[in-house]
Amino acid sequence: MIVNMSDQATQLQIAHVVDRIRELGYQAHITQGAERTIIAAVGSSGRRSELEALKAAPGVDDVVAIAHPFKLVSRQARGARSVVDVGGVCIGGPEAIVIAGPCSVESREQIFSTARAVKAAGACMLRGGAYKPRTSPYEFQGLGVEALSLLREAGDETGLPVVTEVMGTEDVDVISEYADMLQVGARNMQNFVLLRRLARVDKPVLLKRGPSATVKEWLLAAEYLLSGGNTQVVLCERGIKTFETEMRNTLDLAAVALARELSHLPVIADPSHGTGKRELIAAASRAAIAIGADGIIVEVHPCPERALSDGPQSLDFAGFESLMLDLQKPLRAVFNPAARSVVAR
Amino acid sequence: MIVNMSDQATQLQIAHVVDRIRELGYQAHITQGAERTIIAAVGSSGRRSELEALKAAPGVDDVVAIAHPFKLVSRQARGARSVVDVGGVCIGGPEAIVIAGPCSVESREQIFSTARAVKAAGACMLRGGAYKPRTSPYEFQGLGVEALSLLREAGDETGLPVVTEVMGTEDVDVISEYADMLQVGARNMQNFVLLRRLARVDKPVLLKRGPSATVKEWLLAAEYLLSGGNTQVVLCERGIKTFETEMRNTLDLAAVALARELSHLPVIADPSHGTGKRELIAAASRAAIAIGADGIIVEVHPCPERALSDGPQSLDFAGFESLMLDLQKPLRAVFNPAARSVVAR
Amino acid sequence: MIVNMSDQATQLQIAHVVDRIRELGYQAHITQGAERTIIAAVGSSGRRSELEALKAAPGVDDVVAIAHPFKLVSRQARGARSVVDVGGVCIGGPEAIVIAGPCSVESREQIFSTARAVKAAGACMLRGGAYKPRTSPYEFQGLGVEALSLLREAGDETGLPVVTEVMGTEDVDVISEYADMLQVGARNMQNFVLLRRLARVDKPVLLKRGPSATVKEWLLAAEYLLSGGNTQVVLCERGIKTFETEMRNTLDLAAVALARELSHLPVIADPSHGTGKRELIAAASRAAIAIGADGIIVEVHPCPERALSDGPQSLDFAGFESLMLDLQKPLRAVFNPAARSVVAR
Amino acid sequence: MIVNMSDQATQLQIAHVVDRIRELGYQAHITQGAERTIIAAVGSSGRRSELEALKAAPGVDDVVAIAHPFKLVSRQARGARSVVDVGGVCIGGPEAIVIAGPCSVESREQIFSTARAVKAAGACMLRGGAYKPRTSPYEFQGLGVEALSLLREAGDETGLPVVTEVMGTEDVDVISEYADMLQVGARNMQNFVLLRRLARVDKPVLLKRGPSATVKEWLLAAEYLLSGGNTQVVLCERGIKTFETEMRNTLDLAAVALARELSHLPVIADPSHGTGKRELIAAASRAAIAIGADGIIVEVHPCPERALSDGPQSLDFAGFESLMLDLQKPLRAVFNPAARSVVAR
């Protein structure tokens, strides 16, 4: 931490800050600048947020953090990248993975037909909501345990491990019985009670980035899981909230690359929520893989225009098949200027 | 809802949309424009989100909502403004109220001295955190039940009703025993499991706006409480997340006025989180009252530079006293141009 | 500047950074921490951005600025607050001022009737656009010189100094002939060519904050004016762009208070653009004055529903009169808990 | 346009709106809903913004646009995608293009060595700033005409067409003499005076997206160019401003795909400004190509840590060469679940 004293700070105020830094178990290094004094707090006593409170001390302008606040999730904490095994599917390994399925499980027929279609097209995991976080209380809230049971059956029949969202601590046990992976939704990314509970579960967790969470906050949410004992964590970028209104969210693909720079955890992307527009999903999926994502999670529905949730951003079966083909296509070639001499001005 | 057909939509596609609108229990009114057709879905069958899924139907460009999706929270739903009584303090009445206290309850002495100081300066309710939502797992997480008990005692001694945050459903019962009002923190605004639980509690709820929630989403979160049976709801604007980095959040004061336009619920403001800067709190508090807020909630600590959380944005006792005096001061006078004739060019 | 070395930086890399800091005319102070080394660059050689480029040097994690980058606009640069005199109206003095008028000058009758109405209600300056920045090329672009001339006449008749927007350097001369104050619109806040030109004009400038400008960037835009020779600068907060869609912009009132903390320049607020909603303007204006704004600028039109631009956010004459009355009303009283003993539980 | 009447609107108010719609040259179609009346204004009289002013008419809740406001830039306006020829380099053709060079031209040696290096590695155009838009007046502002001349020479020697930014109308003529393509910087995207001037120039224009511009506003800025007569326009996504602080901007890659959906114009991406971090540029460039960008523009400097501007986000020569190799690499393979039966649970 750097304590940046005001240019009018007195010697007494400087001494006071130095004392407090030492009291908190850090060393204080003073640099007397042309206009102002800065004091570096050196060490790692773990009372970081108390250091930050010095912002409130007289004569202090600002307190600036130097080191990142996360530990276990950081790339340095581990020699190699983490690989998370979900029912035999390795996320974070050499190959990218594709998770697909409906936003909500709506009926036996819907989830079975979808499971078969996405399996046939090449998906390796099945998604489907049983408990749905909905902005309005008047919208479809999910089928609950019935949905869990259908999802499990569909996953078993097709050989696809299943992932579903857990909205509260009460549901952790029952969902753990049915699902291979538990998803923390974007709006629950900083539901710390839920994170602490999931830290004690022996199931992989898919942690979505909150719509207004910085990459740092996202990694700190993951730190709750790791520091509580669960190291099977996969991060998922699903778009952030910006001023743009043509798309549901702004898919922050560079954050996928950044999260992989800062952390050893696998990172996947959700182009369905990330764009909210069916017609952009294939392109965004390719870009996600190109930027280094360990996989994608995509919404697929037998008949999107009749979906009880997220219809506009769901692919139908043909759309998903075509997406899977798109993922095989090579990158567009780059113009070779050597050939340009021929057509030169 | 307005279904906006593409300019290349066929008659068949239009007919298909009309059929689906009727199937969902709405009437369909077609307007044939110069370039495109629009179809209004008229009625209130309650299958609104299924209507929205028509965005995914062939030939459809967009589906646009016309009416607001909230019902019980809307101003029209009630003749008069709501007043919420918290242990004898009326929020939403003719007078603005001031809630004050530390971010976290840290010790008996800290909470008692703070309670006495804020009471003496004119606060009418006491705040204090027992369970703290912290971005990092390594930060102070609150004293739990011990804090609740201290808060209750301090409130009783000073005659101040108390409000404290509830982070998860497990804590609702114990907090209800101790507190007069339960706060839903900004990061939990869309924790629907928690909202549904609080809808069944006979305690007033203070619902903070999420850092990236629109006013509409905020009111829909309140709708979860009202539609579940709890009408004692107070809204609290506490700043939203924007690109600005000089302040912790952007205090959206116009949202206070807008929420009071759209809803009958009382609305207060939190200038401490809203700005994150002690030196702006008095000015922001005055502005909050001026724009129509039914009160403010402010962080006060005996020694902010030693606070275990939120020190930089906490007032000390003298600062709080001075804030209370500031709230009495008249608005700055407006220049009277009639006097200008004398000094005219 | 603080250069934050990576935890894997070598001694050679540290020495390289130190050399470069000295080469740029600064002193280098090294602090060896528990995990990493930080190097403070001390001095003021004016090659600040070259220091920042050290972010690209091997072994460097980050370069963090400590001091604010602005000089002449900073509060420290001047003993007292600045007062800007616009044709006899003092902005930044003890009284708040009100500037009013239509978005665009549309006709002789429109601007004269508006000028008379706002003067009668108490405005002390007249606004009106002659050159309009419009998002679409197909929208009304202003009447140009004709509008300038009408605005001048209307100002003269009513004794109101006039302010109008200048969109490009070519128009500076002609607008300077007619107007008492030149406005830089929000979208031109970082049009540095225009700022440099206006720095050489002997007219006061009203500098609107860009819709995505931080307070720091806004003050640096003002620094272009002051450092180029024009000290008659008034800042204007007019709302920033956020995810909120119910209002045209998010009026950042705390930024008014912050700008007045950081700078000696007067700061006014524009609740018309700031909210985009007529029904919120009076409340937002009161809040602006309460938070310390030196005045407000408001759009008024004889018949808003026929305005060629900004109709939805324009007040009619009655609305403006009522706003002026609202600005006289006292702040809402704060509940006195002493009286509470009577109604105590 | 849809005029959405309030649920308390009177018949008189509805009649008034209908009259006004007709007066403006549109037809009015009324739909009487369960709770409210909506009125569609049908036609294309070109008085769209006057229709919008009806928001201010009594009894009106909102006026909602249905059709997109741009015409010439829209995909429908042209049968095929546009290809812009810049000195023999086709942007928007089958191959993606790479533009590279320093942020600013700093010296003869710097620009020549860079031009040769990027040419050797495969770039097909050279970039370099002569007039620099800088946030602070105390930062390096560019070498002006000297830089233009050096850039031209370096381009000629290497056979690379050159692009450089034009900051104001005064510089258009001189820059047109030297450059093959004129860039409108992000902060000038809505400098309508500049856009109107460039509409009359016979040079291709590179139009960067503003840091807080929606895709719609960006396309409308392009519409200024096309409607004014210049159809040689290339769009460039360069990151938007969000709450994220770890990266300089949020590179909105999905906006590249969306702009190509909505418009026939070529779209390139700028991963240097888009991320502000050297280590993310290669990954972001790959993603840009994968999502459909017609090319990228990248900052390259012989010694980034000594760059006078944008050092932290500039690649050195080796970094650029490695980027060009990265663009040849295939997409990561997608896990094939068929193989999964072998390792099944």
pLDDT digits (tens, 9 = 90+) for B210-269: 999 999 999 999 999 999 999 999 999 999 999 999 999 999 999 999 999 999 999 999
Q: Which of residues 283-312 of D touch B (CB under 8 A)?
A: none
Residue B332 with chain C: CB contacts under 8 Å: 94-96, 289-290, 292
pLDDT class for A338, splitting at 50, 70, 90? low
Q: Is B259 helix (H, G, I), strand (E, B) or coil?
A: helix
D138: confidence class by pLDDT, cuts 50, 70, 90: confident
How high is the pLDDT of residue A341? 45
Of A185, A225, A269, the closest CA to residue B188 belongs to A185
Q: How far apart are CA A147 and CA C124, in angstroms?
A: 67
Sort C170 into a burial class: Cβ within 10 Å, 0-12 / 13-18 / 19+: middle
Q: Give the span between the Cα atoms of B247 and B284, in whole angstroms.
A: 12
Instruction: Name the residue with tokens 């971010």.
Output: B103
Determine which of D5, D32, D37, D38 to mutate to test the interface with B (most B C-beta atoms within 10 Å): D38
| Mean pLDDT score of chain A | 93
Domains of chain B: which residue ranges?
Answer: 2-64, 75-326
Q: Are C31 and C37 in contact (CB under 8 A)?
A: yes
Contacts of B158 in chain C (CB under 8 A): none
Nearest of B46, B146, B143, B164 to residue B101 by alpha carbon: B164
If you average pLDDT over residues A162-172, what whole number do you get? 96
Task: Kindly tell me if the per-residue pLDDT of A149 is higher than 50.
Answer: yes
Give the residue among D241, A166, B75 at the shortest CA–CA distance from C216: D241
State mean pLDDT over D123-149: 93
Among B243, B252, B262, pick the best mutation site for testing chain D contact (most D Cβ within 10 A).
Answer: B243
pLDDT attached to residue C339:
53
Instruction: Output the pLDDT for position C312.
Output: 87
Residue closest to B135 by CA, chosen among A284, A282, D183, A49: A49
pLDDT of residue B310: 87
A61, A139, A214, A299, best to mutate vs chain B, most B CBs in 10 Å:
A139
Running DSSP on this structure, what letter comes out for residue C180?
S
CA–CA gap between residue D261 and residue D254 (Å, rounded) = 11
**A22-65 per-position pLDDT tens digit:** 999 999 988 887 778 889 888 877 788 888 889 999 999 888 88
B89 CB within 8 Å of a chain C CB: yes
Which residue from B minimizes the CA distance to D3?
B66
Q: What is the dihedral of CA C201, C207, C213, C218, to 10 degrees?
A: 70
Distance CA B4, CA B55 (A): 9
Look up the pTM and report it.
Answer: 0.94
CA atoms of B106 and B111, how far apart (whole Å): 7
Tokens of C167: 């969109």
Residue B56 corresponds to which tokens in the numbers above? 């995914």
The DSSP output letter for B189 is T
Residue A13 — very low, low, confident or very high, per pLDDT cuts 50/70/90?
very high
**Quick check: C255 contacting B, CB < 8 Å?**
yes
Instruction: Give how far the C-alpha of residue B256 lies from the chain's centroid of Cα atoms, to the nearest Å.
Output: 8
**Encoded tokens for C244:** 């909120």
| Strand, coil or helix: D85 | strand
Is the pLDDT assigned to residue B105 strictly greater than 90? Answer: yes
- Give percent of chain B with pLDDT exceeding 70: 98
Average of pLDDT values for B173-201? 97
Q: Is D196 helix (H, G, I), strand (E, B) or coil?
A: helix
Tell me the pLDDT band of B31, cut-offs 50, 70 and 90: confident
Can you say whether residue A270 is alpha, beta or left, with left for phi > 0 and alpha for psi between -120 and 50 degrees? beta
Tell me the per-residue pLDDT of A185-229, one tens digit each, with 9 for 90 and over: 999 999 999 999 999 999 999 999 999 999 999 999 999 999 999
Q: Which member of C33, C66, C242 has the closest CB to residue A4?
A: C66
**Chain B residues 111-140 with CB within 8 Å of chain C:** 119, 122-124
pLDDT at C219: 97
Instruction: Identify which has the larger pLDDT, A33 or B295.
Output: B295
List chains touching A (3+ CB pairs under 8 A).
Answer: B, C, D
Q: Which amino acid is at D343?
A: V
The residue of chain D nearest to residue C191, with distances taken between CA atoms, is D188
- Residues with Cβ within 8 Å of A311's Cβ and at least 6 positions away in sequence, in order, are A301, A304, A305, B50, B52, B53, B54, B55, B56
Contact residues, D window 12-51, toward B, CB-based 8 Å cutoff: 29, 31-36, 38, 40, 42-44
Per-residue pLDDT tens over the stretch A123-147: 999 999 999 898 888 888 899 999 9
Kindly list the residues from chain A whose CB atom is less than 8 angstroms away from the CB atom of residue C34: 42-44
pLDDT value, residue A7: 85
Mutate to test the interface with B, among A24, A306, A316, A320 (most CBs of B within 10 A): A306
Q: What is the mean pLDDT of chain D?
A: 93
Q: Per-residue pLDDT for A117 more than 80?
A: yes
Contacting partners of chain B (3+ CB pairs under 8 A): A, C, D
The dotted CATH code for B2-64 is: 3.30.70.1140
Q: Looking at beta carbons, which residues of chain D come within 8 Å of C50? A: 306, 308, 311
Nearest-CB residue to C67 (from A35, A43, A242): A35
pLDDT at B343 over 70: no
Question: Per-residue pLDDT tens for A231-261?
Answer: 999 999 999 999 999 999 999 999 999 999 9
Q: A339 pLDDT band (50/70/90 cuts)? A: low
Contact A331/D333, CB-based, under 8 Å?
no
Query: Do the chains contact at C284 and B254, CB–CB below 8 Å?
Result: yes
Paired with C235 in beta bridges are C207, C267
CB contact under 8 A, C305 and D53: yes
The SS3 call for residue C283 is helix
Nearest CA to CA, how far is A225 from chain B (Å)?
Answer: 9
Residue B34 has pLDDT above 90, yes or no: no
CA geometry: angle at B167 spanning B161 and B169, to 5°? 100
User: Which one, of B58, D197, C188, lies nearest residue A316 by Cα?
Assistant: B58
Q: What mean pLDDT is predicted for residues B57-66?
A: 88
Largest CA distance in chain D: 76
Q: How confident is the model at residue C32 (pLDDT cuts 50, 70, 90)?
A: confident
Please name the residue that has the structure tokens 């600002």.
A62
Query: What pLDDT does C263 receive?
Result: 96
- Element containing residue C90 per DSSP (H, E): strand C89-91
Among D34, D40, D245, the residue with its CB nearest the CB of B43 is D34
CA distance D141 to D150: 16
Q: Residue D80 class from Cβ within 10 Å (0-12 exposed, 13-18 middle, 19+ buried)?
A: exposed
pLDDT for C341 equals: 44
Q: At A81, is the pLDDT very low, low, confident or very high (cuts 50, 70, 90)?
A: very high
Mean residue pLDDT of chain B comes to 93
Q: Which chains touch D (3 or more CB pairs under 8 A)?
A: A, B, C
Q: Could you give the CA distance from residue B272 to residue C133 in angstroms, rounded to a whole number?
A: 37
Res D42 pLDDT > 90? no
The pLDDT of residue C344 is: 37
Backbone torsions φ then ψ of B61, nearest 5 degrees: -90, -45
Does domain C75-326 bear CATH number 3.20.20.70?
A: yes
- Please list every residue in chain D whose beta carbon sits closer than 8 Å to the beta carbon of residue C140: 49
From chain A, pick out residues whose CB is under 8 angstroms from the CB of C62: 66
Check CB contact under 8 Å for D330 and A328: no
pLDDT the model gives residue B218:
97
By CB atoms closer than 10 A (0-12, 13-18, 19+), residue A65 is middle
Provide the pLDDT for residue A342.
Answer: 39
Task: Specify which of A104-113, B138-147, D302-311 reaches the highest per-range mean pLDDT.
Answer: A104-113
* D267 pLDDT more than 80: yes
Give the number of C-alpha atoms closer than 13 A to the C-alpha of residue D178, restricted to the C-beta side. 26
